[in-house]
Amino acid sequence: MTLAEIAGATTAPADAPAASAPAAPPATTGRRRSRWRWFARRPGLLLSIGVLLLVVLWAVRPGWFTAADPLVGVPREKLSPPSAEHWFGTDSIGRDLFARVVHGAQYSLRAVAIALVLALVVGALLGLISGYLGGVVDNVIMRVVDVLLALPGLLISLILITALGFGTLNVAIAVGVSAVAAFARVMRSEVLRVRNAAYVEAAVKGGVRWWSVMGRHVLPNSYGSIMALGALEFGSAILSIAALSFLGFGAAPPAPEWGALVADGRNYLATAWWVTTLPGLVVIVVVIAANRIGRALDGEWRQAR
Amino acid sequence: MKRYVARRILSAVVVIWAAFTISFLLLYLLPADPIAIKLDAVEGGGRGGSGSVSMPPEQVAEIMARYGYDRPLIVQYFLALGRMLGGDLGTSITTGIEVRDSLVAALPQTLQLASVALLIGVLVGVLVGVLSNLVAFRWLRQLLQSLPPLAAAIPTFWFGLVLLQVFSFRLGWFPPWGNSGFASVVLPALTLSLPTAAVMAQVLSKSLREVLASPYIETARAKGASRLRVHLRHAFRNAMLPSLTVVGLTVGNLLAGSVVVETVYARDGLGRLTETAVDGQDTPVVLAVVVISAVVFALVNLLVDLLYPVVDPRIRRATTAVA
Amino acid sequence: MTGPGEPLLHVQSLHIDYASGGRLHPAVRGVDFTVGAGEVVAVVGESGSGKSTTAHAVLGLLPPEGLITAGAIRFRGQDIARLSERRFRSLRGAEISLVPQDPTVSLNPVTRIGDQIAEGLRIHEKLPRRAARLAAADLLDAVGIDRPLVRSQQYPHELSGGMRQRVLIAIALACDPALIVADEPTSGLDVTVQRTVLDKLQQLTHDRGTSVLLITHDLGVAVDRADRIVVMQAGEVVETGPATEVTRQPRHEYTQRLVAAAPSLHSDRLTATAGIVATASASPPGARPADPIERRADEFVRVTDVRRQFRVVLPDSGRVDLVAVDGVSFSIARGSTFALVGESGSGKSTTARLVGGLDSPTSGSITIDGADLEQLSRGARRALRSRVQFVHQNPYASLDPRFSLYDIIEEPLRAFGVGSGRDRQARVTELLEHIALPASYLRRRPGELSGGQRQRTAIARALVLRPELVILDEPVSALDVSVQAQILQLLTDLQVELGLTYLFISHDLAVVRQISDRVGVMQQGRLVEQATTAELFAAPADDYTRRLLDAIPGSRARG
């Protein structure tokens, strides 16, 4: 369990759907307008969405943002500080650092995507089964989940890397598996919460069959929390993947993975501050943006709806 | 009460056992073959490369037998479990050194680092968490509340490198690396404490905010209690409970974080040992590290669980209401 | 000191706004009233009337977004509306104190109750720890808690709800204040507990000459306990006067409606609105045969010696069998209403679940329309589901927030595969008429409806399958009184129109009186008495029933 998760888990889905809101019947157009206003009042959130979109574009179309080659350097220009020509400066063999960061986005994003999909699918499935079936199955799954949550995520990832070997894919799998438990637990508690909700009881009392209850009430009402956790996990997955690639377990050297970029600068700490500092700042900005969106999904959005 | 303690101790033991079992299964069921890696290493292959083994099969079999890898998995599991219970953690595949000896050498270094980090993290976290609600100025509260999410987004390795840059290379206040005396602990501990402080502050601040909105706080205010009294006497004791749980959970993360921090500062310790072991896919060492971490984690959480009833009277009388 | 002739508290054209989203929303608009020394004044109003906001302003405990924009609150002649927090603090607890709303959550869970009572004394009178503790024990004794020295060492979770409210009264009285603001002090407590707590508060404040500002939604409580009543609606005072006068000869139209709606001030069963015609074959209520033999012939539900026990595992004493329902027998005639009344934990809801077939009795039998529930096949049981429907207590929680009104009402039809899409649409539209909601509401979601509208929706959902028996589990207890009255009337009309049989679960005898033909009183799992509604209220046979009846507030208004 990563630290961001603990914070995320305690930002519990406190969901009281418009519990005491007075009847305010907006027409559809009014609703759309109020949605815009809702966003307009949250410039930080808009900025965060912008940051993530930009990073996705970096990954898909790096050529739009930089003409420099991320792998081949100009030795003459090695370790030159940030300038108009090299926004982030250059590294020890004269490669443009900004180009490396832009091109590195695809490694990080691909790894994050694999990790998240793995964690989400496996975790949500386990949680769903556990919460719905209950009894022995629930007990077994939840005990395993508890232990996985007790072990720090990084340690679980390291075990898996020991077993699977190095590389971006293995790092992604390792990070994904370490996040499965969190998704399983949130999904299970959501299923239980919704299943015990009065409207589900009302549906059951009314004679609605259980699969129908599951599909029409339980799933649609629980997926919000899962999405929110997904966004929070996005941030911590970027951090974990960067940490693992910093340790040298990620893609092989010339690849500009973000964590590896920071590691590259270790030997030039005294002379070239930008080589470590700037790629790290990019990571921070992306993680903050992801967390901001996660918080929006978790609470504000649902309350406003 | 006795029941409560017994149950907690039992669950601590179960956590350690389960951590061992899960990591054993992951390490031994998954495709990578430790022997192939060892042989690979012997032949000077790169890290994690595929094993292009040119050794004669008999010799491979002999090595397999020496490490017990020719037996069925279940037998290997029970043998390993038995050895573990007897205190024998096996030998390293890459170095051939007794794992126990390496651990005994490494553990104190890391425990020292982790406890200093825990202390800093909890102190800073509590301070920021409390002040971000208590301070009377709205702008200062908001500033303080925005710090923890920011801190939680900072990669520890990067933070460590920036501290090195500033305090060791620019200012020369602290030695950049090594295990020499207290001065060498300061920067690593600061680095390692960052996530702990961030989470503590976030959790405490949030639960304080919730507690401050609860009706019994209004009761206290209606008695004429001052802001300080309401915060410290009434809100803090109630808000502390979730934070206590976080302290327990954090310890595991401190141990794991030492992998990164000890690498950044080139310190000897459990983290470095782990990093090297993963690098060489040295399964016995990794397994031992997991078990040691689980033991430390379980002990600290046992302590937290035993502290709970002291703080929360509702747990003291564990006569839970009928569901 | 208060000058001669000057009231202790004088609220003068008070305006309070809430700031949200950059705008001000008025909550209190020009409120005027006084509380004299030793006087008990009740502020009565429904939710949103501004009564609670006014009370908080008097205590200086408005939330940060609540702003006093005009007017004054004079306490002993001094305007406290704009007092600094420091100055107000010396007043709060010492001169003006609070008895808060919900006793279950108003005490600090991790502090001993003795210390919580002593806190005010330590703050204001600077009593040393030991002296404050002894004083706290005396106060516990005064509010009627036994073994006060032992109790003061206990924590809130070790006390019952009624005892916690007594502790809160002790906290309020600790520094012998001149004015106590009691904000809905007994909401959430059982009626018999409510009565003893209010008796205690009344006695203690009377003895000490303390003035009380009583905030309540219940006109019955107000008339029983207050000297004068202030009626508030939408932030304004609509009527003020001596308690009995306000309830007997209400002048303002809103007060008249409130009095008319207040169940505790009425004694008659509701009849269908003029123009409602029975379409089903059932005889209309009121014209129901009084002869018990004939009723039996018309019996729809029969519950015979039903017992339900649960096995629970307690951490200390191991497995224990908990009897929730014990030897209960009753029958319900077709087209009539049978009410089960009891306090929390009496087993009334469990009984309802048993009758609805959601749970099976440990022993005994339940027949519905002659069919024994236990002997039914799965298919027959499910078919019966469509004939027996539920309406839930909490209209805020019982509707899926994502569904539109249409989806909610249609769902049972869909579940039982009734009709084509077009048929279902017609049926839903038809029901909307029954519950008197405009067709334009079909696309709305529960969040856009008021509490009453939500409960109407829940009723429509229960009726869509044309059931014969509707089990109503506290259907009005979460609603304001005027809305309560509308829903009860709607239920009565629907019963006549559709020939429905009701099993009505309630803790509120006053409500029960308005809707039921027969009443069963439950206590600790047993049915202690059952009779026709008229008999039960005129001549209760059981001691517990008598206590329940005595506890209904509003006896002073009824004369």
Distances (CA, A) of B170 to A88, A275, B163, C153, C249: 21, 16, 10, 59, 86
Contact status of A73 with chain B (Cβ, < 8 Å): no
B289 falls within a domain: yes
pLDDT score of C101: 85
CB contact under 8 A, C415 and A217: no
List all chains that touch chain C, counting a touch as 3 or more CB pairs closer than 8 Å. A, B
B62 falls within a domain: no
Chain A residues within an 8 Å CB radius of C465: 206-207
B30 falls within a domain: no
CA distance A25 to chain C (A): 5
Provide the number of structural domains found in chain B: 1
Nearest-by-CA chain B residue for A144: B18
> From the list B215, B318, B319, which residue is nearest C102 (CB)?
B215
The low-confidence residues of chain A, meaning pLDDT below 50, are 1-28, 303-305
In what order do the strands lie in the sheet containing C388-391?
C388-391, C469-473, C501-506, C337-341, C518-523, C526-532
Give me the domains of chain C, ranges plus CATH numbers: 9-265 (3.40.50.300), 398-466 (no CATH)
CA angle, C537 then C540 then C543, to 5°:
135
Contact status of B207 with chain C (Cβ, < 8 Å): no
Say if residue C57's pLDDT is above 90.
yes
Name the region of A72 (left: φ>0; alpha: ψ -120 to 50; beta: rest): beta
Please indicate whether residue C3 or residue C160 has the higher confidence score (pLDDT). Answer: C160
How many angstroms separate the CA atoms of B320 and B3, rounded?
13
CA distance B221 to chain C (A): 8
In what order do the strands lie in the sheet containing C66-75?
C23-35, C9-20, C66-75, C78-79
Contact status of B314 with chain C (Cβ, < 8 Å): yes
Chain B residues within an 8 Å CB radius of A134: none
CA distance B21 to chain A (A): 10
pLDDT score of A32: 62
CB burial class (10 A; 0-12, 13-18, 19+) of residue A95?
Answer: buried
B27 falls within a domain: no
CB contact under 8 A, A262 and B19: no
pLDDT in tens, C328-387: 999 999 989 999 998 887 888 889 988 988 888 899 999 988 888 888 887 888 888 888
Written as six digits, the tokens of A34 are: 């109020």
Chain B residues within an 8 Å CB radius of C158: 317
Nearest-by-CA chain B residue for C58: B222
Contact status of A248 with chain B (Cβ, < 8 Å): yes
List all chains that touch chain B, counting a touch as 3 or more CB pairs closer than 8 Å. A, C
Helix (H, G, I), strand (E, B) or coil at C192: helix
pLDDT score of B58: 72
Contact status of B320 with chain C (Cβ, < 8 Å): yes
B75 falls within a domain: no
Chain B residues within an 8 Å CB radius of C102: 215
pLDDT score of C266: 64
List all chains that touch chain A, counting a touch as 3 or more CB pairs closer than 8 Å. B, C
CB contact under 8 A, B224 and C94: yes
pLDDT score of B321: 35
Contact status of B171 with chain A (Cβ, < 8 Å): no
Question: With bands split at pLDDT 50, 70 and 90, how would you rate the model's confidence at C466?
Answer: confident
Nearest-by-CA chain C residue for B312: C110
How many angstroms separate the CA atoms of B229 and B221, rounded?
9
B11 falls within a domain: no
CB contact under 8 A, A198 and C447: no
Mutation for testing the C interface, residue in A205, A213, A225, A301 having most C CBs under 10 Å: A205
Chain C residues within an 8 Å CB radius of B5: none
Instruction: Tell which A residues from 24 to 53 touch B, by Cβ distance under 8 Å.
Output: none
Nearest-by-CA chain B residue for C345: B322
CB contact under 8 A, A167 and B48: yes
Which residue, A154, A130, A157, is CA-closest to A144?
A: A130
pLDDT score of A149: 82
Contact status of A9 with chain B (Cβ, < 8 Å): no
The mean per-residue pLDDT over the stretch C71-99 comes to 91
Mutation for testing the B interface, residue in A6, A177, A241 having most B CBs under 10 Å: A6
Chain B residues within an 8 Å CB radius of C97: 222-223
B77 falls within a domain: no
Chain A residues within an 8 Å CB radius of C401: 17-18, 199, 221
Q: What is the ipTM of this complex?
A: 0.81
Domain interval for residue B284: 99-319
Chain A residues within an 8 Å CB radius of B153: 235, 239, 284, 287-288, 291
pLDDT in tens, C263-318: 766 667 777 776 666 654 444 444 444 444 344 558 899 999 999 988 776 655 56
CB contact under 8 A, B155 and A259: yes
Domain with B135 in it: what CATH number?
Answer: 1.10.3720.10
Helix (H, G, I), strand (E, B) or coil at C470: strand
Cβ atoms of residues C16 and C80 within 8 Å: no
- Beta-carbon contacts below 8 Å between B and C: 93
How many angstroms separate the CA atoms of C118 and C153, rounded?
12
The low-confidence residues of chain B, meaning pLDDT below 50, are 41-53, 318-323
Q: Tell me the three-class secondary structure of chain B, residue by residue.
A: CHHHHHHHHHHHHHHHHHHHHHHHHHHHHCCCCHHHHHHHHHCCCCCCCCCCCCCCHHHHHHHHHHHCCCCCHHHHHHHHHHHHHCCCCCECCCCCCEHHHHHHHHHHHHHHHHHHHHHHHHHHHHHHHHHHHHCCCHHHHHHHHHHHHHHHCCCHHHHHHHHHHHHHHHCCCCCCCCCCCCHHHHHHHHHHHHHHHHHHHHHHHHHHHHHHCCHHHHHHHHCCCCHHHHHHHHHHHHHHHHHHHHHHHHHHHHHHHHHHHHHHCCCCCHHHHHHHHHHCCCHHHHHHHHHHHHHHHHHHHHHHHHHHHHHCHHHHCCCCCCC
Nearest-by-CA chain B residue for A290: B153
pTM: 0.78
> What is the overall mean pLDDT for chain C?
85
Longest dimension (CA), chain C: 80
B221 falls within a domain: yes
pLDDT score of B53: 46
CB contact under 8 A, B318 and C120: no
Written as six digits, the tokens of C486 are: 């509308």
Mutation for testing the B interface, residue in C85, C110, C316 having most B CBs under 10 Å: C110
Contact status of B223 with chain C (Cβ, < 8 Å): yes
pLDDT score of C55: 92
pLDDT in tens, A248-274: 887 777 778 888 888 887 877 777 788
